[in-house]
Chain A
Amino acid sequence: MSEYIVMKSKAISVYDYKKVDISQFIPEFKVDEKQLEKDITRMLSAYGKKISAETVAPNDQIELSCVSENPKFNKEKVFVLVGKGLYSRELEEKITGLNRNEEKEITVGGDKVKVCVRNIIHTELPELNDENVSSFGIEGVNTVSDFRRYCIDKQLVRFLDDDENPDMAVACISNTVMDNSEFQLDEAELKAVDAENLKRIEKIVTEQGFSLEDINDDTYIESIGSTFAEFKDLMEKISLMELKSAVAGYTLLSEKNELFTVKDYDECIERRAVSYGISTEQARNEYSVTYFAIEMYAEYHIKLLDDFVAETIKRAVNP
């Protein structure tokens, strides 16, 4: 068993993130029945039986060869989803009813196009019943009712993707946890986040056309919308938050005995060395085990909050 990576910063107490009230961030969600029917058909199509067909029909996937003076319709091999209108609605209408290997000259938008249907794949939609649904192999989905639930959940996930409430809820929990927890931060770990912070500041400032030498605290950075001093202040707060978040994540993982190990770090270093084309020694110098631990434990903590918020909102808006 590889040695655990231990953080030197300590949490005297970590506020329980599950106690934070996020009811104000629960959005209103109503199932879009029309969209649900579309999603169900789409899923059925994905699990449908693909059969080779003889005649082109709407919704078939066909392989076509076209000869034309218009380059768009001069293709040796092109896949077309009939009726979607992605290639050409007019062409797709005119090839409907053609047989496999049948050649025909058609006119599309004034261009003569000689088409030949090389292959036709038709999808046979399975009947929506418990037996078929169970055969799809979707985890926890064994009945038509489960399947509808699964499709509604997908709709809900899409809805939440576009909604700002989950992000606001995570920020609220994170701030509450940090404000109500007590930490003893280690000097070396603070230095590690400061060093990374400086790198980030330099990168962002350079991208905005400045250099650290010719910028001062009063310089206004228009694209960021603040002075350099305000920007540095914000970045320092983010770094401090990252370290505290790491300590919180480390504390929770310690309780479960699931800490990151030296082997995890070594593997990460190997990957970085190969990717950057540098020696492992150089990779270790550029990415210290101290900062690796901070990043990994902070990432774990944020994921924990993300998952908690997603589950809480999902339960609350459960249609």
Chain B
Amino acid sequence: MSINVATNENYRDLIKDGFVIVDYFTTTCVPCKMFSRVLEELTLDYPFVNIVKVNITDYPAIGKENEIDGVPTVKFIMNGEEKEKVVGLMSEDEVIEKISEYYYA
């Protein structure tokens, strides 16, 4: 699993192929930090999943375009198609469930 940091320039490229988990966050949000740790742990076990992190304070346009009203927000995207958007902190097991549900659909 690789973790990529999105910018206005690379965001679309990062989400267009394969199974992608997009984490929209801000640096001041405590649950975002917790979720970041969940994703880091997952990187150890799931090398085929790509993680894209979007700091919506630095890149508000991406936040606006994706209708991000609260953080953390997580999107599960398969080959560019949004499968689900979850607002709020997710546990490791919940994310694994989503990987199973969408990557192996």
Contacts and interface: CB of A to CB of B under 8 A. Distances in A.
Contact of B28 (A87, A158, A302): A302
Nearest to A79: B48
A78 B60 CA distance: 34
A222 B58 CA distance: 33
A167 B30 contact: yes
Interface string B58-69: 111110100001
A83 to B, nearest CB: 12
B6 to A, nearest CB: 12
B20 to A, nearest CB: 14
A207 B8 contact: no
A235 B100 CA distance: 42
Contacts of B62: 275
Contact of A275 (B30, B60, B105): B60
Interface residues of B, number: 25
Contacts of A71: 105
Q: DSSP majority for the A interface?
A: helix
B61 A45 contact: no
Nearest to B104: A87
A302 B28 CA distance: 9
A167 B28 CA distance: 14
Contacts of A277: 61
Contact of A158 (B37, B48, B59, B61): B37
Interface string A205-247: 0010000000000000000000000000000000000000000
A207 B87 CA distance: 15
Nearest to A39: B41
Given A161-B37, A276-B60, A302-B28, A207 B46 contact: no
Nearest to A160: B34
Contacts of A161: 34, 37
A42 B45 contact: yes
B96 interface: yes
Contacts of B41: 42
A177 to B, nearest CB: 18
Interface of A: 42-43, 45-46, 61, 71-72, 78-79, 81, 86-88, 157-158, 161, 167, 207, 271-272, 274-277, 299, 302, 306
Interface of B: 8, 27-28, 30, 34, 37, 41, 44-48, 58-62, 64, 69, 96, 99-100, 103-105
User: Which 8 A-B pairs rank lowest in CB-CB distance, beginning with the nearest?
Assistant: A79-B48, A46-B44, A275-B61, A86-B100, A161-B34, A87-B104, A275-B60, A275-B59
